Amino acid sequence: MPRRTMIEAIRDAMDVSMGRDDKVVVFGEDVGFFGGVFRCTQGLQAKYGKSRCFDAPINESGIVGSAIGMAAYGLKPCVEIQFADYMYPAYDQLTQEAARLRYRSNGDFTCPIVVRMPTGGGIFGGQTHSQSPEALFTHVSGLKTVVPSNPHDAKGLLIAAIEDPDPVIFLEPKRLYNGPFDGHHDRPVTPWSKHELGEVADGHYTVPLGKAAIRRAGSAVTVLAYGTMVYVAQAAAEETGIDAEIIDLRTLLPLDLDTIVASVKKTGRCVIVHEATLTSGFGAELSALVQENCFYHLEAPVARVAGWDTPYPHAQEWDYFPGPARVGRALLETMGA
Amino acid sequence: MTDAGMLRFHVPEPEVRPGGTPDFSNVTIASAGSVPRPDIDVDPRSIRDMAFSIIRVLNRDGEAVGPWAGLLTDEELLEGLRHMMTLRTFDARMQMAQRQGKTSFYMQHLGEEAVSCAFRKALSPGDMNFPTYRQAGLLIADGYPMVTMMNQIYSNEADPLKGRQLPIMYSSKEHGFFSISGNLATQYIQAVGWAMASAISNDSKIAAAWIGDGSTAESDFHSALVFASTYKAPVVLNVVNNQWAISTFQGIARGGSGTFAARGLGFGIPSLRVDGNDYLAVHAVAKWAAERARGNLGPTLVEYVTYRAGAHSSSDDPSAYRPKTESDAWPLGDPIMRLKNHLIRLGVWSNERHAQAEAEILDTVIAAQKEAESHGTLHAGGKPSTRDMFEGLYAEMPPHLRRQRQQAGV
């Protein structure tokens, strides 16, 4: 099976979707001729023409708002916001319009759009190239929120998102675009070509939305993670020697609660890890759900390791990013409790 | 002597406040028939003046004059008059229903009936409007059942939107009427996207975007003009300038731009200004803009100059911020009276027939109201089920919502 980077897998997903359905259109800033600042749409305009893949003005509200209108017409737009940090001008369109269109019109109009946005830190991106705004989407009823962690899932989830009849926020951890990253910034990064999850089948396949994946089976503690933190958690488990069960959530909403609950009931312990800031982050929702559903099985308080409640700094990148040492400490504390 | 060194902050004010005498002497109004009618493929640069004038067809004597006249038959004009009278009667009854506690909220169109009623007749089947909350004439003029509109207003068991939406936030794909949102201006860029989709699909349908004077200040107005200009989208960009955004006079949104139509010029979009209380002028300009869009000539911006004669909504009292008699002083008059006088002048209408039509329309609206009320009103009779609250958010209900529905006991 061919190995692809996450960038190539995402590009392949759009290629496959555009090839199968001429209602799929792709646009955003620098997405057309140039092929995107991360190369995720390279070659699509040459292959499908300017009416299927094109450059947009620098106007996030315009990109999402026009996509909603296109979806109401009957197209399936897959649009790009260059960085998740720049989705805020489109927040009105995403939360009040895309999320609610089916509900408020009782199905008269629907909004099958995908909004791709590179997310997460660990790249010296500073305040506005590192944010993880997923909790601002999971709090909005009517949206689905997806965060892939590897090329195989990225392709399958993106095709599933494009085919989904509802609006999907597709957050791509840009730290994982070229290879997995476990937080050891002092070591060389291995490319996806050396990782089994870099195996991406040709042609059409989907990874269903709303289904988590167990990345490491274990019996001592359940780790709930997504995106880059999946690899950080794996490194932390290996380095502490703790037999952690690591769940890659993949879709945050709808959430695969069954997989989470079954795991925590088995291990009796739970550590939640995300890059986003702690307070009111998605980890709070996960923690509450685990407490509500697994209370009598819990042997230790549910722990959360997250970004600090500050804007994402530049020079202090590795003091901010929840690396394997911090996650490892949380694992040890949870086991010792 | 100069004030250099001391800046002064500027806040525009309307000419007159409550207690004052209404004064529209500053409103420059071109005489009917005086504005030329260019070809639809005109170079936008050559018609810049039209963004500062007002296209009018009906003169003071009720005659249709000039190059924008002569597009509608007597029958079509009589139908238009009936639509406007129906909308006004519908408004009056629903406003009263709100006062009687049968619903929570209503917004009238008083004085603006010509804009949406005449515009609708310039579109073709399959075209899509992206309206605000003050274009129900698009539905009335397209034959959308009044009973269904009332069911929505009452949030009753027959409400097509299952009680989820505030009254008057209608939706009808079948009638080319996009789902109304409470968020101002969002629909403006969505209309452009819909038009882009039609062009991408090599279709022949066009979109119509709607916005009020106040909401042109929203970012999505700018987004829409940029996208429409960039992609030459087949869209008619309508601005209904009724002079007021709740309590805020149009000068706050317009600033120094002169007119709202003038906003389009910077985007290279042909921009016209039209007498919004002149049914014939509204229709003629709408048709011109629709033909441009359908002819792949790109977007047109149209400013309808009118006056919001009623309160902003059932929750508003205009006497707190403008003179009570201001609407009587409005120089463009009343759209229904003006079309009525024109039809009388044509010899196809009379005061007697008008009074008779008023009575007939009132009977029809009351009958529709009775039927709607048989399905319930907001606080009495049939209502949508609690189950409907959970349905239809996603195509397929996700597990967490299913759990919540269970908790709610439905």
The DSSP code sequence of B117-154 is HHHHTTS-TT-EEE--TT-THHHHTTT--HHHHHHHHH
Chain B touched by A29 (CB under 8 Å): no
Nearest CA in chain A to B183: A96
Nearest CA in chain B to A256: B399
Chain B touched by A144 (CB under 8 Å): yes
Q: For testing the chain A interface, which of B139, B179, B403 should be mutated: the one with the most A CBs within 10 Å? A: B179
CB within 8 Å: A69 and B183: no
User: What is the distance, to the nearest Å, from the Cα of residue B389 to the centroid of all Cα atoms in its chain?
Assistant: 30
Q: Beta partners for B126?
A: none
What tokens does A30 get?
Answer: 């620098």
- Please tell me the number of Cα atoms within 13 Å of B238 on its side-chain side: 34
Following CA atoms A177, A183, A185, A190 in sequence, which dihedral angle do they give, to the nearest 10 degrees? Answer: -50
CB within 8 Å: A75 and B197: yes
Q: Beta partners for A307?
A: A277
Nearest CA in chain B to A210: B398
Q: Using CB atoms, pick whichever of A73, A100, A253 lies closest to residue B197.
A: A73
Give the burial string for B283-304 (b: 16+ CB within 10 Å, else e).
bbbbbbbbebbbeebbbbbbbb
Q: What is the pLDDT of residue B3?
A: 63
A252 CB neighbours in chain B (<8 A) are none
How many other CB atoms sit within 10 Å of the CB of residue B383? Answer: 19
Q: For testing the chain A interface, which of B394, B402, B403 should be mutated: the one with the most A CBs within 10 Å? A: B394
Distance between CA atoms of B97 and B104, rounded to whole angstroms?
Answer: 9
**H helical segments located in A32-59:** 44-48
Nearest CA in chain A to B174: A108
Instruction: List residues of A with catalytic annotation.
Output: 129
Q: Using CB atoms, pick whichever of A93, A102, A210 lies closest to residue B393.
A: A102
What tokens does B15 get?
Answer: 């000419």
pTM over 0.90: yes
Q: What is the pLDDT of residue B256?
A: 86
What tokens does B203 get?
Answer: 């279709």
User: What is the distance, to the nearest Å, from the Cα of residue B250 to the centroid of all Cα atoms in its chain?
Assistant: 16
CB within 8 Å: B394 and A142: yes
DSSP structure class, residue B381 = S
CB within 8 Å: A96 and B194: no
Interface of A with B in 67-126 (CB under 8 A): 67-70, 72-75, 89, 92-93, 96-97, 100-110
Q: What is the pLDDT of residue B25?
A: 86
Q: What is the pLDDT of residue B4?
A: 77
CB within 8 Å: B223 and A103: no
Give the burial string for B76-88 (b: 16+ CB within 10 Å, else e).
ebbebbbbbbbbb
Percent of chain A whose predicted confidence (pLDDT) is above 70: 100
CA nearest A190: which of A172, A177, A178? A178
Cβ contacts of A15 within 8 Å, gap of 6 or more: A43, A44, A47
Q: For testing the chain B interface, which of A27, A64, A103 should be mutated: the one with the most B CBs within 10 Å? A: A103
How many other CB atoms sit within 10 Å of the CB of residue B257? Answer: 14
- pLDDT tens digits, chain B, 410 residues: what are they? 566 789 999 999 998 999 999 988 888 899 999 999 999 999 999 999 999 999 999 999 999 999 999 999 999 999 999 999 999 999 999 999 999 999 999 999 999 999 999 999 999 999 999 999 999 999 999 999 999 999 999 999 999 999 999 999 999 999 999 999 999 999 999 999 999 999 999 999 999 999 999 999 999 999 999 999 999 999 999 999 999 999 999 999 998 889 999 999 999 999 999 999 999 999 999 999 999 999 999 999 999 999 999 999 999 999 999 999 999 999 999 999 999 999 999 999 999 999 999 999 999 999 999 999 999 999 999 999 999 999 999 999 999 999 999 999 99
Chain B touched by A25 (CB under 8 Å): yes
CB within 8 Å: A106 and B392: yes
Percent of chain A whose predicted confidence (pLDDT) is above 90: 99
Question: What ipTM does the predicted assembly reach?
Answer: 0.97
How far is the CA of B255 from the CAs of B186, B214, B217, in angstroms?
Answer: 22, 11, 10
Cβ contacts of A116 within 8 Å, gap of 6 or more: A10, A28, A40, A78, A79, A80, A81, A158, A170, A172
CB within 8 Å: B392 and A102: yes
CB within 8 Å: A166 and B394: yes
Distance between CA atoms of B343 and B78, rounded to whole angstroms?
Answer: 8
Q: What is the pLDDT of residue A191?
A: 97
For residues A220 and A334, the answer to whether their CB atoms sit within 8 Å is no
Interface of B with A in 186-215 (CB under 8 A): 186, 189-201, 207
Quote the minimal CA–CA distance from A216 to chain B in Å: 25
A66 CB neighbours in chain B (<8 A) are 189-190, 192-193, 196, 223, 227
Q: What share of chain B is helix, strand, coil (3-state, %, to 5)?
A: 40, 10, 50
Q: Which helix (H) or strand (E) holds A55?
A: strand A53-55
Distance between CA atoms of B299 and B186, rounded to whole angstroms?
Answer: 18
**H helical segments located in chain A:** 6-20, 44-48, 60-73, 91-92, 101-104, 134-138, 151-163, 229-240, 257-267, 282-294, 317-320, 324-336
For residues B129 and B210, the answer to whether their CB atoms sit within 8 Å is yes
Quote the minimal CA–CA distance from A211 to chain B in Å: 12
CB within 8 Å: A68 and B192: no
A109 CB neighbours in chain B (<8 A) are 171, 173, 178-179
Q: What share of chain A is helix, strand, coil (3-state, %, to 5)?
A: 40, 20, 40
What tokens does B88 get?
Answer: 């006004």
B178 CB neighbours in chain A (<8 A) are 72, 109
Distance between CA atoms of B134 and A327, rounded to whole angstroms?
Answer: 56
Q: What is the mean pLDDT of each run of 10 residues along chain A (337 residues)?
A: 96 98 98 98 98 98 98 98 98 98 98 98 96 98 98 98 98 98 95 97 98 98 98 98 98 98 98 98 98 98 98 97 98 92
Distance between CA atoms of B410 and B205, rounded to whole angstroms?
Answer: 42
CA nearest B84: which of B299, B342, B285, B272? B342
Distance between CA atoms of A146 and B66, rounded to whole angstroms?
Answer: 59
List phi, psi (to 5°) of A305: -115, 120
Q: Using CB atoms, pick whichever of A56, A74, A96 lies closest to residue B186.
A: A96
Nearest CA in chain A to B190: A69
A324 preceded by a cis bond (ω within 30 of 0): no
Cα separation of the two ends of chain A? 45
Chain A touched by B230 (CB under 8 Å): yes
Chain A touched by B221 (CB under 8 Å): no
Q: Which amino acid is at A229?
A: M
Interface of B with A in 156-175 (CB under 8 A): 160-162, 164-165, 169, 171-173
Quote the minimal CA–CA distance from B182 to chain A in Å: 9
Distance between CA atoms of A194 and A66, rounded to whole angstroms?
Answer: 40
Q: What is the pLDDT of residue B237?
A: 98
DSSP structure class, residue A99 = T
Distance between CA atoms of B207 and B192, rounded to whole angstroms?
Answer: 7
Q: What is the pLDDT of residue B26?
A: 81
Q: At what angle do helices B113-120 and B279-294 cross, to 10 degrees?
A: 40
Distance between CA atoms of B352 and B355, rounded to whole angstroms?
Answer: 5
Nearest CA in chain A to B200: A51
Nearest CA in chain B to A50: B200
Nearest CA in chain B to A53: B200
